[in-house]
Amino acid sequence: MKIVVSFSGGKDSQACLIQAVEKYGSDKVEAVFCDTGWEHPATYRHVEDTTRLLKVKLTVLTGKYSFVSLAKHKNRFPSVKARFCTEELKIKPMIDWVLSRTESLIIIQGIRSGESNARAAMETECMYFQNYFTAINGKKYSYRKKEVLEWCKNYDASILRPIKDWSSQDVIDCILNHNQLPNPLYYRGFKRVGCFPCIMCRLKEIELISRDPDEVEKLIKAEEFVGSSFFSTDTIPERFYKDKNKPCVQDVIKYVTDKTATLDMFEPEGGYSCMSLFHGLCE
């Protein structure tokens, strides 16, 4: 049975990868990284450096779309209420990869209860294809259902979430105690490093991005290509919009760098974490 760690380059999945190697041995572990085409260069380097240091095989998955080409296809960027990015860029490529395997798998995910109420409700262990058989949040998953059901007749894929009860400090301690460092983006003040920037990034993180001309230019070009704003209407107060429909990158950058900006004074209860049985792909 193969041990697979969903590795995003974030701290939680890095701790899981370290623990898996320690428990099962590097020759039994495979790190799977879903490349959205929208990652920071530091994350790509960190993923390669970490897997090389731990001597585990790294498999990089890409889907039908990149983040920007998906937004172009949808004529809009994802949003907090429409997170189609996770499904198309991470969930489906991962399912495709699992179905290509001819052996049973244990898939380890870096899910922690402290991230959100939704993640706290997740099981520590479960079947990977569980919601093809049981409705979750009122619906069953149907992507490649026929192939999934056929695959499950011969093989098994189980999910383990070994750090579910860990604190953020536990995660950092695990990484440092094994003579490693977390993704360097954390040192720059970013909370999210899977997809960069994430559509759920905080205003403080946008302020940090504003200091990097290359990242600002990347966002401007993405908006021009898609023909839509990267940011949702409630990102900044409407009076700061240049166009009265939605704020563009330049509007948001101007706002977050203004000395009167309130930035992240308020955040939604329960946090911003994505909700999906297949998740654990971003952290």
- Sheet holding 2-6: strands in order across? 57-61, 29-34, 2-6, 105-108, 157-160, 125-127
Mean of pLDDT over the chain: 89
pLDDT score, position 262: 60
pLDDT number for residue 236? 87
Record the tokens describing residue 272, joined without a space.
Answer: 């911003």
Give residue-wise pLDDT tens across range 157-181. Answer: 999 999 999 999 999 999 999 999 9
> In the predicted model, what is the mean pLDDT of residues 73-96?
93
Buried b / exposed e over 177-214, threshold 16 CB at 10 Å, is: eeebebbebeeeebbbbbbbbbbbbbbebbbbbbeeee
Domain 2-185, architecture per CATH: 3-Layer(aba) Sandwich (3.40)
Taking only the tens place, the pLDDT of each residue in 121-161 is 888 999 999 999 988 777 889 999 999 999 999 999 999 99
pLDDT tens, position by position, 15-35: 999 999 999 999 999 999 999
Cβ count near 241 (within 10 Å): 18
- pLDDT at 267 > cutoff 80: no
Question: Residue 191 — φ and ψ, nearest 5°?
Answer: -90, -35
Say what the pTM is.
0.88
Q: Is the pLDDT of residue 183 over 90?
A: yes
> Mean per-residue pLDDT for 88-106?
97
